[in-house]
Amino acid sequence: MSCIFCEIVNGSSPARKIYEDDLIIGIMDTDPFCDGHILLIPKEHYEDVMELDEQVLAHINKIAKKLTPIIMQKLNKESMTVSYNFGVKQKVKHFHMHLLPNIDDDPKETVENIYNKLI
Ligand SMILES: [Zn+2]
């Protein structure tokens, strides 16, 4: 069964990558809920948070905390919402965490523009 996030991790599908380390990648959401909508994705396939390794979850939280002030500063945002979905609200069945700057504002800029501000 193909998984879009596994394809992005192994390089067979493109993505705008803003962060990478041994365990996770951070990419721009292609259909953003707000400007600067970023996904943090474990490189290993875990269907959802119930499957997710505790140490990988701790690492993702650590990186979310580290990236939050950087993203807010670069995009000139006042707030950050960090979340993940579980169950029917989780569209891609490969765990991912959402970073949502100023979540109440509709997207105004192109993903490309935001990406260029972040890298
Ligand atoms: Zn996957």
> Could you give the CA distance from residue 92 to residue 81 in angstroms, rounded to a whole number?
19
Residue 85 Cα to ligand 1 middle (Å): 15
> Could you give the CA distance from residue 65 to residue 62 in angstroms, rounded to a whole number?
5
> Could you give the CA distance from residue 68 to residue 38 in angstroms, rounded to a whole number?
10
Identified catalytic residue from 37, 45, 94, 96: 96
Domains of the chain (ranges plus CATH)?
A: 4-118 (3.30.428.10)
User: Is 96 a catalytic site residue?
Assistant: yes
Residue 77 Cα to ligand 1 middle (Å): 31
Closest CA to 5 of 90, 116, 119: 90
34-77 pLDDT, tens digit per residue, is 999 999 999 999 999 999 999 999 999 999 999 999 999 999 99
Residue 85, CA distances (Å) to 8, 29, 79, 88, 94 in order: 20, 15, 20, 8, 11
73-93 pLDDT, tens digit per residue, is 999 999 999 999 999 999 999
* Residue 98 CB neighbour total at 10 angstroms: 19
Residue 7 Cα to ligand 1 middle (Å): 7
Global pTM?
Answer: 0.97
